[in-house]
Amino acid sequence: MKFKKEIENILETTGLWIREFIDLFYPIFKRYMPLQFFRYGVTGVANLVFDWVLYFLIYNFILQQQMLHLGIFTLSSHIASFAIKFPITLLSGFLLQKYVTFSESDLRGHRQLFRYLIVYGVNILINYFGLKLFVDLMNIFPSISNMIVSVITVFVSYFLQKSYTFKVSNY
């Protein structure tokens, strides 16, 4: 129990430091967005870059672009790299949102994580159906379609994270 409390204190302190650092740059953007949305954007971009770097390192240096043989089945190196980095960046994204962007939420951590996973699943569905709509039905180039869908998921995700995953009780 004491170890858990110490980890929680470390995460809260680290989140506070990151928040204070991010807030130094907020005055430049103050006219365009609320502070919480700014924090959400910065932590989201940071986690995305971390995702890209981690994928690159796993693909090129850990797997060395080779298939991953797991006994009864084999994963291609690009899928194996995704599978390895996915839980890491999912957790880092959750921790950034919990301790930096939405630190005032009073929901318990396990409930937040469960809800975060649900919102993540919603975003996967929006990505899938959005790309099907824009690419297959509207014949928009895939890269442009991906950008459009990304903008949509940023706003949907922010709204859901704020009002569902990390909501603040009004009692």
Contact 22, 39 (CB under 8 A): yes
Residues in the chain with pLDDT values less than 70: 170-171
Counting Cα atoms < 13 Å in the Cβ hemisphere of 71 gives: 0
Across the chain, where does the E strand assignment appear? 68-69, 74-75
Return the SS3 of 33.
coil
What pLDDT is stored for residue 171 in this prediction? 55
Give the pLDDT confidence of 64-113 residue by residue, as tens digits.
Answer: 989 999 999 998 888 888 889 989 999 999 999 999 999 998 888 899 99
What pLDDT is stored for residue 97 in this prediction? 95
Q: Alpha-carbon distance 11 to 99, whole Å?
A: 7
Return the SS3 of 71.
coil
What pLDDT is stored for residue 79 in this prediction? 84
What pLDDT is stored for residue 52 in this prediction? 86
